[in-house]
Amino acid sequence: MENVFLAKLLNLMPLQRRGVCFNSMRKFFVPIVALIFIFNPAIHARGQKTSDEEKAITTLLISHLNRYPRMEIQDVYKLLHQSALGSGHAVSNEATARVWLENEATNLKAGKMESRVDPITPDKKLARIHLRAFLENSTDLEGLNRAFVQTANNFRGSKETLKRYLNYALRLAKKNVYPFTWAEMKKFFDEKAKENFPSVRHSKNYEMFYSPAYRVVALDYLSDKLKEKEYVNAKEYSLKDYYQLADGNEWHYTAPPIWRGDYISQIKAAPDIKLNKETPKGLPEQFTGFRHLDATKAAKALVYLPDEGIFYARQEFADGDSYAEFDAPVFFLPDKLRVGQKVEADRYFTRIYKNGNTARGRFKLKQTVTVVEDATVKAGTFKECLRIESEIYWELGDGQKMRSINTHHYAPNIGVVKTSSRFFSINEDGKETANRLIETELKSTNLIVK
């Protein structure tokens, strides 16, 4: 969790590149969930108006960077090229395209599992249809191929649109979001402009790590039956199966070399934690809670209510000198989880110091359950994990502002098995002055209840 401890570290650490864990920073574990970056005008260039289109493209770029931390400049270019121009070429023979698709489906390599529909345009009408997820619930390759061919032949994009999108990407590069520089990106984009903006393949790095397999399709060309399958996921997953809250539960994760031993996260019973401020309608004013500690000894004070979910009552900071008491409990995770489910919060808090001083701060949360997929980590391969993506923002009450973009994989009967978090520090002018990627994965557990 972002806190004072992390803020101080961020200003001390050298920036590493290419999605590698930052060895000189202690890992911060956020034992909740997930959403992608949503554009925040407070950190945009002062005085510059941001269009809805730019906000949507910014969200798209950050989402993909979070999901594919090893993507390179040409992968960014390819994503925006598809968003602006579709597949980038016409398909003259539907039968040939069908054979190509069937061969790819037959010889599909193991790779990153994604949601079936992955929108890539601001209006969300054009999407990558990921084959692995598609084939889990459908054998209608003919319908998918027909939609792909119709899209390739009829989608009317423009290179002017692509130019705008590339400019949005360059503006975002000035915030140090990418694992490459603005100058490197500008050089690549300029070279493609001289070549009249050709389509490109994914980078070798991207293909090696993610084995991409998809078709770019306008959703209007998918049959109603296929669209229903793509968008409706009624299956529900029980929170208590994915978040193990028994007193004494312990998880050991990989950690940067600075740690002496494993990165350890723990659950401790905390009868003193009460939701005694403003409570959800129909709930009692007080109930017993838990503390979820990370390796820095920072802790979230949480309360679980059957049939309701987990509420976030308090944040205890790693320095041991203060804690944040929310004006009203933050609803963190619903008791029943399903793909596509979103939770948002915007809450003020009072930061209370041991010496009696207080300060006011603000906390924002946006998170989404994005997909169900397998996760392979040091501890083994875990089936049917929930991937939850989040963006968290803190105004800490002492002038410091923090933001993080997180992806967590929750395994049934285990909890979090894999985490990828990108942390940002924001200065007084609203500029992000640090950018750190931290990744960790489960090694072992000591769970009281499985």
309-348 confidence digits (pLDDT tens)? 888 888 998 888 899 988 878 888 888 888 877 888 888 9
Nearest C-alpha neighbor of 347 from the set 374, 323, 313, 388 = 313
Residues 256, 217 share a domain: no
Q: With beta carbons less than 8 A apart as the criterion, state whether 324 and 350 touch.
A: yes
| Domain edge (last residue) among 209, 231, 253 | 231
Residue 42 within a domain: no
- Max mean pLDDT among 37-41, 304-308, 340-344 falls in 340-344
Query: What integer is the mean pLDDT of 170-184?
Result: 90
pLDDT of residue 108: 76
Residues 350, 219 share a domain: no
User: Does residue 360 register a pLDDT over 90?
Assistant: yes
Residues 247, 218 share a domain: no
User: Does residue 231 register a pLDDT over 70?
Assistant: no
pLDDT of residue 16: 34
Alpha carbon distance, N-terminus to C-terminus of the chain: 25
pLDDT of residue 225: 65
Residues 95, 72 share a domain: yes
Nearest C-alpha neighbor of 324 from the set 394, 248, 220 = 394
Residue 57 has phi, psi (to 5 degrees) of: -70, -35
**Domain tally, the chain:** 2
Of 142-146, 257-261, 405-409, the range with the lowest mean pLDDT is: 257-261
| Domain edge (last residue) among 201, 231, 261 | 231
Q: With beta carbons less than 8 A apart as the criterion, state whether 122 and 204 touch.
A: no
User: Does residue 356 register a pLDDT over 50?
Assistant: yes
User: Does residue 380 register a pLDDT over 70?
Assistant: yes
Q: From CA 218, how far away is CA 60, in angstroms rounded?
A: 17
Residues 108, 167 share a domain: yes
- Per the prediction, the chain carries an average pLDDT of 79
Residue 348 within a domain: yes
Domain range spanning residue 21? 4-34+243-446
Could you tell me the pLDDT band of residue 113, with boundaries at 50, 70 and 90?
low
Could you tell me the pLDDT band of residue 234, with boundaries at 50, 70 and 90?
low
User: Does residue 80 register a pLDDT over 50?
Assistant: yes
By CB neighbour count within 10 A (0-12 exposed, 13-18 middle, 19+ buried), where does 261 fall?
A: exposed
User: Does residue 158 register a pLDDT over 50?
Assistant: yes
Q: Pull the structure tokens for residue 57.
A: 């493209």
Q: From CA 266, how far away is CA 343, in angstroms rounded?
A: 24
Q: 63-66: list long-range contacts, CB under 8 Å, 24+ apart.
A: 63/36, 63/37, 63/389, 65/177, 65/178, 65/422, 66/36, 66/37, 66/389, 66/405, 66/406, 66/407, 66/420, 66/422
Residues 265, 405 share a domain: yes
Q: Does residue 83 or residue 21 have the better pLDDT?
A: 83
Residues 261, 221 share a domain: no
pLDDT of residue 6: 36
pLDDT of residue 385: 95
**CB atoms < 10 A from the CB of 371, how many?**
23
| Domain edge (last residue) among 231, 255, 273 | 231
Q: With beta carbons less than 8 A apart as the criterion, state whether 248 and 448 touch.
A: yes
User: Does residue 357 register a pLDDT over 90?
Assistant: yes
Residue 237 within a domain: no
- Max mean pLDDT among 67-71, 133-137, 369-373 falls in 369-373
Q: In this structure, what is the dihedral angle of CA atoms 15, 17, 22, 27, given to the nearest 10 degrees?
A: 100
pLDDT of residue 9: 33
Residue 79 within a domain: yes
Percent of the chain with pLDDT over 90: 37
- Max mean pLDDT among 21-35, 99-113, 179-193, 420-434 falls in 179-193
3-class secondary structure for the chain?
CCCHHHHHHHCCCCCCCCCCCCCCCCCCCCCCCCCCCCCCHHHCCCCCCCCHHHHHHHHHHHHHHHHCCCCCHHHHHHHHHHHHHCCCCCCCCHHHHHHHHHHHHHCCCCCCCCCCEEECCCCCCEEEEEHHHHHHHCCCHHHHHHHHHHHHHHCCCCHHHHHHHHHHHHHHHCCCCCCCCHHHHHHHHHHHHHCCCCCCCCCHHHHHHHCCCEEEEEHHHCCHHHHHHHHCCCCCEEHHHHCCCCCCCEEEECCCCCCCCCEEEEEEEECCCCCCCCCCCCCCCCCCEEEEECCCCCEEEEEEECCCEEEEEEEECCCCCEEEEEEEEEEEEECEECCCCEEEEEEEEEEEECCCCEEEEEEEEEEEEEEEEEEEECCEEEEEEEEEEEEEEEECCCCCEEEEEEEEEEECCCEEEEEEEEEEEECCCCCEEEEEEEEEEEEEEECCCC
Q: Does residue 16 or residue 229 have the better pLDDT?
A: 229
How far CA 25 is from CA of 184, 257, 439, in Å, comes to 26, 9, 11
Residues 299, 272 share a domain: yes
Residue 44 within a domain: no
CATH number of the domain at 277, please: 2.40.360
Residue 55 within a domain: no
pLDDT of residue 228: 53
Residues 333, 304 share a domain: yes
Query: What integer is the mean pLDDT of 37-57?
Result: 59
Q: With beta carbons less than 8 A apart as the criterion, state whether 307 and 289 touch.
A: no
How far CA 383 is from CA of 270, 335, 374, 413, 436, in Å, comes to 31, 20, 5, 11, 29
Of 97-106, 129-138, 351-360, the range with the lowest mean pLDDT is: 129-138
Residues 196, 128 share a domain: yes
Residue 10 within a domain: yes
